[in-house]
A and B are shown apart, each in its own frame.
Chain A
Amino acid sequence: MRAQIEMELEDVPGQLVKVLEPISSFGGNILNVLHERERKTPLGRVPVRVVFEVDERVKLNRIIGALRDMGVRITRVGEKEGAVRSTVLLIGHIIHTDIRDTIDRLNELHGVRISDLSLAMGAIGQESAARATITADDEARARAALSRLEKIAKGKSLLMITSLEGT
């Protein structure tokens, strides 16, 4: 997922490097740093916005925890568009239960789309497996997509396997 953290730093040397360190050490890939010295807050702090990618929600939480532990004042945590990716496996008669319909019913949701789909066919008469990547704009939409897929899977007797991080 792509995440954005906004924070306020003391205006003393070395602060920016200090807050970037936990982001990369916990697996964040920093994409953009905006350091707005000219927009100081009334208390003389400097607003900083960092955009980065992490592959798991847990890592984002660790980064936020580490920053808070350092005493950094975090003003906002956001997720960027198309930013939350969930990987899901389906096992069952995926083709025979109309895979097209399964995809369409997910894509109907706002801010949600299936961005990747891999299929492994079973032998004739046997069940198949599929892996889908669902991309959503934020956590709430990702949860809605997973819960809709769960209903669809139930209706079509498919076994749905979600990632541990989503539980």
Chain B
Amino acid sequence: MRLILIGFGNLGRGLGRALVEKARFLRASYGLAPRVVAAVDEYGAAVDEKGLKLERLLRAAERANTVAAYPVRGEKKKSALEVIDEVEADVVFELTPTNIKTGNPGLTHIRKAMLAGRHVITSNKGPLVVAFRELDGLAKRQGVEFRYSASVGGAVPVVGLAKKLLAGNEVHAIRGVLNGTTNYILTRMSKEGAPFEVVLREAQEMGIAEKDPTLDVDGIDTACKITILANAILDMDVKLKDVRAVGIRRIRPEAIRLAQEAGYMIKLVGVARRGSLEVGPRLVPAGHPLAVGGTLNAVTFELDLAREVTITGFGAGPRETSSALLGDLIDIHRTLGG
């Protein structure tokens, strides 16, 4: 299978490393031999239809911070759109950073890839919260596969669990702790009794929170994931603006203590059900399946037959997320009869 990787930051490199580590396993278990024919980032591209040497690509990217530094086949200023146009491939991985306002550049990349008849796998929430229905419809019309497991829950197979393994159920509601950063902050606040600002700073120093933590702490990242789940699993037609989101900036240690005295933890919970999409701090009974600590994610499905199913695991990190990206690739390979 010929792959184009668009975006070669943390996630792209994580996928690159997983492809190296798993090459033998993929061939032995699935008869799958992925070949990266192009990698693109914001500075340029590396193209080799015979297949790029991934170790070399990773070294070049780490040394010069761009894939354009790949020996001989690297080319500065070559854009993703040119690569999609010029390079024959089966699957395009869209792994550029999320832009929740316009969805770009990811949205343009995905449209272009689908129109060129490529299957698409993405981790990028931007295009999904801006144009889920459009992209879903375009994929169907073009007869290409479209997968986005890595956009929600990182390593936790939230979308696949609901759409595949629980396919016989009607999903009444989805509730989840979907943002590791805020869950880490709330967990630390409850353990240390420390104020929000102090724990946020600590999380930023540890690289758990971003320099601009707005998307996480104001609940917007969780709202993006709720938007995606509502579209993908509840079959709704909604955008980010349809989700009412409240963050955790106003949570004080005293409030956490009052909650604890009554047997509750405060968690940032996203809820998707038909007629109501919301994100906000909630009281979760201690011992409840969603009462996970640290950077963990957890999602509970309310179902007609199975009643309740909860899944939990690591929601972020390049290595963990490569599990979802690789899973999507294998899934497409199987769907196509491989």
Interface residues of A (CB under 8 A from B): 55-56, 62, 65, 87-89, 91-92, 118, 120-122, 126-131, 133, 159, 161-165, 167
Contact = CB atoms under 8 A, between A and B. Distances in A.
Nearest to B249: A159
B99 to A, nearest CB: 29
Interface in B242-265: 246, 250-252, 254-255, 257-259, 261-262, 264
Contacts of B254: 120-122, 128-129
B103 to A, nearest CB: 29
Given A120-B258, A131-B262, A161-B281, A167 B252 contact: no
Contact of B255 (A56, A133, A161, A164): A161
A89 B255 CA distance: 7
B269 A164 contact: yes
B264 A87 contact: yes
Contact of A162 (B251, B257, B258, B283): B283
Nearest to A65: B307
B261 A131 contact: yes
Interface of B: 175, 246, 250-252, 254-255, 257-259, 261-262, 264, 266-267, 269, 271, 278, 280-285, 288, 290, 307
Contacts of B250: 91-92, 127, 159
Given A159-B246, A167-B271, A127 B252 contact: yes
Contacts of B280: 161
B262 A91 contact: no
A89 B290 contact: no
18 contacts: A55-B285, A89-B258, A89-B259, A89-B266, A91-B252, A92-B250, A118-B261, A120-B252, A120-B258, A121-B254, A127-B250, A129-B254, A129-B255, A131-B258, A161-B255, A161-B280, A162-B283, A164-B269
Contacts of B264: 87, 163
Contact of A129 (B252, B283, B285, B307): B252
A88 B266 CA distance: 11
A56 B282 contact: no
A119 B278 CA distance: 27
A156 B261 CA distance: 25
Nearest to B173: A167
B23 to A, nearest CB: 44
A167 B255 CA distance: 20
Contacts of A164: 175, 267, 269, 282-285, 288, 290
Contacts of A126: 252
Contacts of A120: 252, 254-255, 257-258
Q: Which 8 pairs across A and B sit closest by C-beta, in order of nearness?
A: A120-B254, A129-B255, A131-B258, A163-B283, A129-B254, A164-B282, A159-B250, A161-B281
Given A167-B175, A167-B271, A162 B282 contact: yes
Contact of B283 (A62, A89, A92, A118): A89
B262 A87 contact: yes
Contacts of B258: 89, 118, 120, 129-131
Contacts of A62: 307
Nearest to B265: A164
Contacts of A163: 264, 282-285
A91 B251 contact: yes
Give the one of B250, B261, B281, B283 with max A CB within 10 A. Answer: B283
Contacts of A87: 262, 264, 283
Nearest to A130: B258
Given A87-B262, A122-B254, A167-B271, 14 more contacts: A56-B285, A88-B283, A118-B258, A120-B255, A122-B252, A128-B254, A159-B250, A161-B259, A161-B282, A162-B283, A164-B267, A164-B284, A164-B290, A167-B175
A39 B282 CA distance: 46
A121 B267 CA distance: 22
B259 A159 contact: no
A159 B196 CA distance: 15
A121 B255 CA distance: 10
Contacts of B278: 167
Contacts of B269: 164, 167
A65 B305 CA distance: 11
A55 B283 CA distance: 14
B258 to A, nearest CB: 4
A13 B6 CA distance: 70
